[in-house]
Amino acid sequence: MSILRTCLASLTTIFVSMHSVFAQEAPVTPPDTAIELYVDADFTLNAPSAAAIELGIRSALHLSGDRIAGQPVRLIRRDHAGNVRRSHQTLQEAAENPNVLAVFGGLHSPPYLQHGSDVNASGLPLLLPWSAAGALTRLSSGDSNFIFRLSVDDTKATKFLITEAVDEGGCKAPALLLLDTGWGHFAHDKMMAELDAKGIRPAHIGFITVGLGRVSAKAIANEVVRSKADCAIMLANAGEGSLITEALAQTATGKLDLYSHWGIASDDFSKSTSVAAREKLHLRVLQTCNVASHVSASDRLEEALAAARAVDPSRDLTDLSELPANVGFVHAFDLTRILIAAADQASFDDRWQEGIKSRRVALKEALEGLHAPVDGVMDLYAPPFAPSSAQEPDAHEALGTRHLCFAQFTPDGRLPWSIRTDAQ
Amino acid sequence: MNPARAIKVRFWLTVSTVCALAMALTGLSVWASARPFVEEIQERQITKVAENTVLQIYQSLQEHDLLMSFLAHQPELISVALGYDDNANIVRDYLEGLSAPASFEVVTLFDFMGNPLSRLDSLDKDHFRFSSEVEQSLIESTQSVFADQGSGQPRRPIAFYSDGDTGHFLISEPVQSGGAYQGAILAQIDINLATVLPKSDGLFPTRLIAPTPPANAGEGADDIAAGGPAPLSSVRPPEDVRVFNIPNFALDVIVTPNWAQLRSVSTRLVKESVLAIGISLLAPFLLLAWFGNRLLVKPHVLLAQQQKELSELASVARNANDAILMTGLDRRVMWVNPAFETLSGFSARSVIGQRPSTILQGAETDVSTIRAISEALRNYKPIKVEILNYNRLGDRYWISLSITTLFDTSGKPYGFMAISSDITEQKLQSQRFMAAQLEIEHQSLHDALTGLPNRRALRDALDARANDPEDSSVTLVRIDLDHFKFVNDTLGHAAGDHVLCEVARILKEETKQGEVAARIGGDEFILLMSRGYGVEAAEATARRMLKRIQEPMKFGDMTARVGASFGIATTSGGMISAAEINVAADEALYRAKDSGRNAICIYTEELHKESLIRRDLVSRLPKAIRDLEFVPHYQPQVNARTGEVVGVEVLSRWQLPGGEMLSPVAYLSIAKKVGLLGEVDSALFRRAIDELSRINSDRIHVPKVSFNVTAERLQDRKLLQYMRAFSQTSDIRIAFEILESVFVEEQSNSFMYHLDLLREAGVALQIDDFGSGHASIIGLMHARPDSLKIDQQLVIPVTQSETARSLLKSIVDIANALDIAVIAEGVETYDHVRILSEIGIDILQGYYFAKPMKAEDLIIYLKVDQAKRQCLK
């Protein structure tokens, strides 16, 4: 008996020691513990876009009973206020949080451009419903690429902008007005390449300082007018975009069409920009569109709106256009549905139970290889993502050029959701 | 205590009390008000010191803060803070480009989490620099303050540490983008505190602390400077320190006043202020006391005295026995006292508003008095009158009325006051008195019996006449009734009075206007002629009067007859003066009497001369008596049968200083008239006794010496005593010769008594001039004389008249029957001697024997006589 006791004790000690050795990653969240999802967005400076994204996530989660893979889910809001470093901190925190399964990004790209490598290194899936920087999903590849996007990256957007302005709009001397950030500079390169390919030199290239004032906006507008540009292609946030739009409208004497990235739609642009200015410049805003082949899109949209009404009754959404920054809502809704589907799929993986890192890996892999298509508002994703590689630079891009279109503000300031019928 | 003293005591007590109270209250007030004032000044000083410090520090900090703010808004820095850029030298690049002030020692850009992104550090290694904990704390505070921007204008957090004179400040500036906190810039600034903190004078020690920032409110005591070498901000400002916020920065200037020293200063200041104010108050109070004493107390004392007097006067007025009435200038009654109501019978209510003249004066009130009163009232002059008033029942009464005008203090008249007293009784008494006076006056000037003016009235009239400036001549008639004594003696005094009244009536009827007829004695009257009437008129009047006086006067069944003698004298002509006229008239009257009565004699110049002589003698008499100028002359008395000298009669001769010898006829009547006869007799008696005593010593014996004496002298007790003594020591028999007329006039018991006393004293009594008067011999016998001397008027005729001889014979017979010796004087011839001897006369005296002679002649005479006798023997 004593020998038996001694052996049992020894085994216990060994077990404990082994457990200690192997228990390097954080333990898996117990089933009754909520899985946490972070939404790292700019709830301060671009609150409507962040709110639309959050609503889209919550609406999608609502449709799944606020559960993922059978576990309750909790969405935690993190406001980086446009600060790369704060976002980085959030990502670090999330990576270290054993309950966090994935992080949703916000509108901005710089936080993830700056620290995307760290994200990939941490193995925390980062889901970007609206960030446009082209490099984001391509910072890494293979097993180490944990960044997924359901939006149109700027490589495609800028190309689309140039193509539409020059080819469709007949612009001969475009002025490029770009936010003076990494995003703006990245776009600058792409646009210049596109223009160069078309043999067009931009009449003016102006960089818009973040948080610029009215005087600076006026100075930029003057430069544009002096350059005799016949159109302007703008990459800016709502605040800066509104000032530039008004300044251009006041300064322009001749025809000056304005093509803008959806960055301005992230905020209450329409409220701070006069209808006259918008109409004078024939302001057209790039946005993603539903594709006409997606027959269930309207149903899915209604379903999403219903979920949104349930999640946030105060909005009482009946039409998507009533929602500011509705692109974010739709993208986030679809991306969340993809996440739910992927989590459900991954939960069957053994790694799902091994630890949070393993779970995240399982999720990543599930995202890259969903067995079943996911029916979203934008499209029927079948599948949305694939394992990334140098050969498949768009593997982590759920949308493509076919999802791009231009929309124009209604006089009452709404930006109607449109369906692109020519996209295939 | 009298009111004046009480007022003074009250005044000084009040002034002293008020002064003391004022000083005390002022002191308390100053103490109460100055202390807060001083404390306020101290507070202001503290505030000033602190605000100056605050301003200095604020300016220094603000200068740097502006640069910090500039930096924080630079896009490049914001991009770094946002993470868009990783330029670690961005701060240095900027500050170098800006040529930042040297006081910017350490400037660091922190991201939102407090991680340093870019730092410029220009400090030496050993130089103080804030720890990272302090930096983090400040960053947190900055972020917290940034988050609370909506709740106001929060103070900027700051860290502070001082080492010596250097103050190290760590200030922060949030870096924001689009209104969101994106990081912070921290800068360490070193400031020389000596330039910003006040110089320490020990009163207001000043220092700085950074209070607990709001961000650490949950921690409470956490301090942003906690990491510094000396956590100053852990010092909680106690209550007795003053904390001043530096604007915009969470940094406080702490002033810890030296309260003990400040209190000491303020207490000394307040005490000195109180003392100064107290002293300065004393002067005004002394001035107040002086002026108060002059302007208030003295008038008040005067007023009090006046009030007292008025009160007493009012009381007196109410209780006065005199009636008091006050009117306004309209002379209508305003007030009366009870005495007035009693006196007038009018109630006060009934007379108020009435005019006193209307209600009190009536028909018999003297109009001139009323006019005088009105005049006085018009002129506001006092007046005192006696006036007849009427009371309510209409009864008259007299009052003594004094009216004075009432003046107010400014001298303006406002009414009248009448004081009256009832003098009705006095008035009546006065009237009675006046009547009595008049009566007395009348009596004093008039004769009670006849009603004629008396001697006094006459004198007054004479004086008045004599002093008449127009005509001072006076003519006087002096009247003396003849035989009036006879009427009295025979018909009684009533008849005499009747006669006098009748005479008076005649005088009244015979006198004219302006003439005065006066009775000046028993039956003597004087008539003063009126002005302008002289001797002739007087004589005519006298004759008319004499005629009527001589007429029989009926008195009952009896008829009285009298006559009258008139002496008239006048000053007209200047012979006599008015003062002499009465005597002159008297002289004339005597002359009329002497001339046989019922005569009128005028005082003529001749009479005047006689009078002058007589007056001269009268004036000499006293000296003559004194100088024994009366020389005794002795006339011997001889026994008719034996021829023997039995005695001598001493006769008086006045030997004037010039040697002239006056006979008794010339002066005895005058001496008698002036009352000096006794003196003359006495002088003569003494000298005669002396001489006779000397004669007897010469062995010449004079058995009896006879002296003529008056009735008055007989009753002289000195003479009696002398005679008693003389009879004891001398053998000379003294005989007093008394005129028969004396026995007729003096038959009183006293006279007889004195005669007896003299007889007992050895004096022989002898009736002189027997037969010259009307004395009855029976009556003479009552006096039991030793002898009687027959008047020479009876003796001289005996040689020629049988009747005379018979008469003498009868007298001798009676004398013999009564054992009375008979002496005959005036024996001038031998016939006289023979006849008288035959008749039986005992003793003879006359020129036949010898004339009166001086003593030396008498001695010779007696010696010759004695020799003749011895020869005869």
| B113: contact with A, CB 8 A cutoff | yes
* Residue pointed to by tokens 């019928």: A421
Task: Please report, rounded to a whole number, the percentage of residues in chain A having pLDDT higher than 70.
Answer: 88
Distance from CA of B145 to the nearest CA of A (A): 17
Q: Contact B269/B33 with Cβ under 8 angstroms?
A: no
| B113, B115, B180: residue with CB nearest A82 | B180
Token pair, residue A77, equals: 């809001």
| Amino acid A111: pLDDT | 86
| Amino acid A29: pLDDT | 59
Interface A–B counts its CB contacts (< 8 A) at 69
| Amino acid A208: pLDDT | 92
Q: What is the domain-level CATH number for residue B551?
A: 3.30.70.270
| Amino acid B773: pLDDT | 64
Residue B424 sits in the same domain as residue B459: no
| B177: contact with A, CB 8 A cutoff | yes
Segment B3-9 shows an average pLDDT of 76
User: For residues B512 and A307, which has the higher predicted lDDT (pLDDT)?
Assistant: A307
Residue B522 sits in the same domain as residue B662: no
Residues in chain A closer than 8 A to B150 (CB atoms): none
Per residue in B389-416, is it b (16+ CB within 10 Å) or e — as a string? Answer: bbbeeeeebbbbbbbebeeeeeeeeebb
| A192: contact with B, CB 8 A cutoff | no
User: For residues A232 and A293, which has the higher predicted lDDT (pLDDT)?
Assistant: A232
Which tens digit of pLDDT belongs to each residue from B20-41? 887 777 777 777 777 777 777 7
| Amino acid A403: pLDDT | 86
Q: What is the domain-level CATH number for residue B340?
A: 3.30.450.20
- Measure the CA–CA gap between B161 and B232, rounded to whole angstroms: 7
- Measure the CA–CA gap between A35 and A102, rounded to whole angstroms: 9
B301 assigned to some structural domain: no
Residue B93 sits in the same domain as residue B202: yes
How many domains, in total, are found in chain B?
A: 4
Which alpha helices (DSSP H) does B627-764 contain, by range? 664-673, 677-697, 711-714, 717-729, 740-745, 749-760
Closest residue, chain A, to B110 (C-alpha): A85
B266 assigned to some structural domain: no
Range of the structural domain that residue B555 is part of: 446-603
The burial of B363, by beta-carbon neighbours within 10 Å (0-12 exposed, 13-18 middle, 19 or more buried), is given as: exposed
A155-289+407-420 to CATH, choices 3.40.190.10, 3.30.390.30, 3.40.50.2300, 1.20.1730.10: 3.40.50.2300
Q: Which of B355-364, B607-616, B746-755 is the least confident region?
A: B746-755
Interface confidence, given as ipTM, is 0.74
Contact A211 B178 (CB under 8 A): yes
| Amino acid B231: pLDDT | 35
Segment A324-331 shows an average pLDDT of 86
B354 assigned to some structural domain: yes
Distance from CA of B110 to the nearest CA of A (A): 11
| Amino acid B715: pLDDT | 83
Residues in chain A closer than 8 A to B178 (CB atoms): 44-45, 81-82, 210-211, 239
| B78, B83, B112: residue with CB nearest A114 | B83
Distance from CA of A102 to the nearest CA of B (A): 23
Distance from CA of B222 to the nearest CA of A (A): 26
- Out of B212, B239, B260, a domain closes at B260
- Measure the CA–CA gap between B466 and B472, rounded to whole angstroms: 5
**pLDDT > 90? residue A97:** yes
Residue B419 sits in the same domain as residue B472: no
Segment A404-416 shows an average pLDDT of 84
- Out of B229, B260, B291, a domain closes at B260
**pLDDT > 80? residue B312:** no
B688-693's contacts with Cβ under 8 Å and 24+ in sequence apart are B688/B632, B688/B634, B688/B650, B689/B726, B689/B730, B689/B732, B691/B632, B691/B855, B692/B648, B692/B732, B692/B855, B693/B730, B693/B732
B439 assigned to some structural domain: no
State the sign of the Cα–Cα–Cα–Cα dihedral B88, B90, B91, B97. Answer: positive
Name the nearest CA neighbour of B839 among B823, B854, B853, B826: B823
Contact B83 A85 (CB under 8 A): yes
- Measure the CA–CA gap between B430 and B591, rounded to whole angstroms: 50
Residue B599 sits in the same domain as residue B622: no
**pLDDT > 70? residue B201:** no
Q: Contact B62/B56 with Cβ under 8 angstroms?
A: no
Q: Which of A97-101, A180-184, B399-403 is the least confident region?
A: A180-184
User: For residues B656 and A52, which has the higher predicted lDDT (pLDDT)?
Assistant: A52
**pLDDT > 90? residue B72:** no
B279 assigned to some structural domain: no
User: For residues A208 and B259, which has the higher predicted lDDT (pLDDT)?
Assistant: A208
The burial of B657, by beta-carbon neighbours within 10 Å (0-12 exposed, 13-18 middle, 19 or more buried), is given as: exposed
Class of domain A35-153+295-400: alpha beta
Segment A156-185 shows an average pLDDT of 89
| Amino acid A318: pLDDT | 83
| Amino acid B220: pLDDT | 33
- Distance of alpha carbon B709 from its chain centroid, rounded? 65
Task: Please report, rounded to a whole number, the percentage of residues in chain B having pLDDT higher than 90.
Answer: 13
Segment A96-108 shows an average pLDDT of 92
**pLDDT > 90? residue A368:** yes
- Distance of alpha carbon B355 from its chain centroid, rounded? 36
Q: What is the mean pLDDT of chain B?
A: 82
Per residue in B325-353, is it b (16+ CB within 10 Å) or e — as a string? Answer: bbbeeebebbebbebbbebbebeeeebee
Residue B635 sits in the same domain as residue B521: no
Contact A209 B75 (CB under 8 A): yes
Residue B75 sits in the same domain as residue B161: yes
| Amino acid B100: pLDDT | 66
**Between β-strands B413-422 and B323-328, what pairing exists: parallel, antiparallel or unpaired?**
antiparallel
B298 assigned to some structural domain: no
Active-site position among B223, B252, B523, B768? B523
Segment B267-295 shows an average pLDDT of 80
**pLDDT > 60? residue B219:** no
User: For residues B288 and A284, which has the higher predicted lDDT (pLDDT)?
Assistant: A284
Residue B598 sits in the same domain as residue B623: no
User: For residues A20 and B554, which has the higher predicted lDDT (pLDDT)?
Assistant: B554
| Amino acid B212: pLDDT | 54
DSSP code string of A318-372: SSGGGSTTHHHHHHHHHHHHHHHHHHHHHTTSGGGGT-HHHHHHHHHHHHHT-SS
Residues in chain A closer than 8 A to B115 (CB atoms): 85
| Amino acid B702: pLDDT | 83
Segment B714-722 shows an average pLDDT of 84
| B83: contact with A, CB 8 A cutoff | yes
Residue B556 sits in the same domain as residue B630: no
**pLDDT > 50? residue B759:** yes
**pLDDT > 80? residue A292:** no
Task: Please report, rounded to a whole number, the percentage of residues in chain A having pLDDT higher than 90.
Answer: 45
Domain definitions of chain A by residue range = 35-153+295-400, 155-289+407-420
Q: Which of A89-103, B730-744, B806-820 is the least confident region?
A: B730-744
Residue B378 sits in the same domain as residue B489: no
Residues in chain B closer than 8 A to A82 (CB atoms): 82, 177-178, 180, 182
Token pair, residue B262, equals: 């400040």
Q: What is the mean pLDDT of chain A?
A: 85
Q: Per-residue confidence at A4, pLDDT binned at 50, 70, 90? A: very low
Residue B551 sits in the same domain as residue B652: no
| Amino acid A293: pLDDT | 54
Residue B809 sits in the same domain as residue B660: yes
Segment A102-106 shows an average pLDDT of 94
Which tens digit of pLDDT belongs to each residue from B814-830? 888 888 889 998 898 88
User: For residues B14 and B231, which has the higher predicted lDDT (pLDDT)?
Assistant: B14
**pLDDT > 50? residue B233:** no
Closest residue, chain B, to A240 (C-alpha): B178
Q: Known catalytic residue: B819?
A: no
Which tens digit of pLDDT belongs to each residue from B450-474? 888 888 888 888 888 888 877 778 8
Which tens digit of pLDDT belongs to each residue from B362-418? 888 888 999 999 999 999 999 999 999 999 988 989 999 999 999 887 889 989 999
Contact B83 A210 (CB under 8 A): no
Distance from CA of A111 to the nearest CA of B (A): 8
Closest residue, chain A, to B77 (C-alpha): A210
Helix (H, G, I), strand (E, B) or coil at B184: strand
Domains A35-153+295-400 and A155-289+407-420 share a fold: yes
- Measure the CA–CA gap between A108 and A189, rounded to whole angstroms: 18
